[in-house]
Amino acid sequence: MRELERLPFEDLGFARLDHHRALRRGFPEVVFGLGKTPEQVATIVERLAMLQDRVLVTRTTQEALARVQERVPDAVYHDAARLIVVDRRRDAPKFPGVAVLCAGTADLPVAEEAAMTAELMDCAVERIYDVGVAGLHRLLSQLDKLRKARVLVVVAGMEGALPSVVSGLVAAPVIAVPTSIGYGTSFNGVTALLSMMNSCSPGVSVVNIDNGFGAGYLAATILRAGQPEG
């Protein structure tokens, strides 16, 4: 408790930066881009980049990047994944064990958001894309890779059946990510989410629709849960 009380943060007026987070949670504060003005994003990134060797902004825009790069020129935008990344580490070691799967080509942006987040958190990622259940042999041909993974992120829209099928084939935990791909009763991903929630195969948990970042982050913390220093 005493520790908690002394935690440092910095008040920018519209935001309080949590500089202690890397210590407390093992990864520096991530900037949630949604609902922030480009100017606010730029101010936050600039300040964080002074104190951290990595900065991650999620759900952001090209417009925000423009403002960020005026102040932090080495910031990079990953289009499909909607991420701004500053990464000043060199040759950071990557720990293997994360596999990211997606059911269809249209799920790729969310899968990339997950994969890139995990990579920024020191994971080596195996990508296995377009292996939806309508053509089962495409998935079954990857069985060896699936079984080698220590944690699997499985991204799917529409009926969201892939995580159940994958989980039935492996012993490792599966993080299911519903995507908003679909139409009509896909309800922007709600159907996929509900389907994943009701997986008949235990060992599956679910994050919010299109939340590739959250899945990648969680995969990294799971991988780390097994490291010597936790």
Our CB check for its own copies shows the closer of 91 and 227 to be: 227
For the CB of residue 91, give the shortest distance to its own copies in the complex, in Å.
24
Our CB check for its own copies shows the closer of 72 and 212 to be: 212
Widest pairwise Cα distance in the chain: 56
How far is 58 from 101, CA to CA, in rounded Å? 20
Checking DSSP bridges between strand 83-87 and strand 54-58, what pairing results, if any?
antiparallel
Q: Which residues lie closer than 8 Å to 53 by C-beta, 6 or more apart? A: 87, 88, 89
For the CB of residue 81, give the shortest distance to its own copies in the complex, in Å.
14
CA 13 to chain centre: 28
How far is 170 from 12, CA to CA, in rounded Å? 47
Binding mask 26-55 for its own copies (x = CB under 8 A): xx-xx-x-xxx---x---------------
Residue 20 lies near its own copies (rule: CB under 8 A): yes
Q: Which residues lie closer than 8 Å to 91 by C-beta, 6 or more apart? A: none
Site for its own copies in 80-119 (CB under 8 A): 97, 103-108
Give the sign of the dihedral formed by CA 116, CA 117, CA 121, CA 127. negative
Our CB check for its own copies shows the closer of 13 and 73 to be: 13
Binding mask 131-160 for its own copies (x = CB under 8 A): xxxxxxxx-xx-x------xx-----xxxx
For the CB of residue 180, give the shortest distance to its own copies in the complex, in Å.
7
Could you tell me if residue 188 is left (phi over 0), alpha (psi between -120 and 50 degrees) or otherwise beta? left
Which range in 22-30, 47-55, 66-74, 86-94 contacts its own copies by CB under 8 A? 22-30
Member of 57, 123, 165, 212 binding its own copies (CB under 8 A): 165
